[in-house]
Amino acid sequence: MNYKLIFILNLNLILSKELNTPVVLWHGLGDDCCNPESMGRVKTLIEDHIPGTYVHSIKLTPTVSGDKQAGFLGNLNNQIDEVCSNLRNNTRLKDGFNALGFSQGGLFLRAYMERCQYPPIKTLVTFGSPHAGIASAPGCDDDMPGSSCSWMRFMLRRGAYSYYVRDHVIQAQYFKDPLQLDNYYKHNIFLPYINNELPAINQTYSKSLKKLNKLVLVKFSKDSMIVPKDSAWFGFIKGKDFSQIESLRESLGYKKDLIGLRTLDEADKLEFLLIDAEHMRIPNDFLIHKIFPYLKDENYSNKGEIYTGDKTKQHVFKAKLD
């Protein structure tokens, strides 16, 4: 008997199994997959605090500058199809993965879960993600200088539902103007579909989202980038009154369980967390103590807590544009 061969085969089998469920990251607006100050930092934190975890950061183009530009310019439906294919071909993710989505990246990961059945997301955590849409163009703050953001804002002001803008500007594809809802339903090519807001309900989207072990929604209390900030919890402007917010549980989409959120909520699989900070100001210790337990292969519940922690440990997970 060839004991050496048996040993090698067994060793390969052991090494082929992940020690913990893999984690997939999708960065936000103005960032890229691998910046050492943002997604690279998150990746390192996960690897340091959850040893043996494989971390994959989604990258849409071969270059860093191209990956940043893809966050402003492109067709979301095509991008998500591409991500579906890329993750399907990654054998290390074949048994499923947990996912962290930052800003718009969280919305895109939710769309991935609805549209792509394999490999599945087990637990999805989103940070300041515009799940219910945005009612105004995202700002270009100090962390996002450059022409791309200014161009995006100009195009949204010019007409978010015009044919060119709706097909080419990423932010237009989740722009929901409370004063132009008819145009939103008629011309938006992305958000009303994945939120099942149209008469033709896609039951697959609801069935897919219901399969999540946990959906964790993180909102920033001082968020001025995402308007309304409550969109991170699926809240949105009530009617045409920008001063009024309709919460998730008040919404028709929740009551009719259009994408499965009520089912998740009633099964205690929907979590709401709040960070007392501006958009994407995420302290390391919040990630380590509040989020990483969700990524470990064990149950963890932290519903409804507000994190105010050590302000000196806050970190902006956002890269500068070229």
Strands 270-275 and 236-238: unpaired
Among 57, 103, 129, 208, the one annotated catalytic: 103
Element at 121 (helix H, strand E)? strand 121-127
Cis peptide before 119 (omega within 30 of 0): yes
Task: Determine the 3-state secondary structure of 110 from DSSP.
Answer: helix
Among 223, 230, 231, 251, the one annotated catalytic: 223
Greatest Cα pair distance, the chain, in angstroms, is 78
Contacts for 194-199: CB closer than 8 Å, 24+ residues apart: 194/110, 194/111, 194/114, 194/115, 194/259, 195/131, 195/132, 195/253, 195/258, 195/259, 196/253, 196/258, 196/259, 197/253, 197/258
- Does the annotation mark 310 as catalytic? no
* CB neighbour class for 85 (10 Å; exposed up to 12, middle 13-18, buried from 19): exposed
- Does the annotation mark 223 as catalytic? yes
Element at 218 (helix H, strand E)? strand 214-220
Contacts of 96 (CB under 8 A, 6+ apart): 21, 119, 120, 121, 122
- Does the annotation mark 241 as catalytic? no
Catalytic residues, which ones?
103, 223, 279
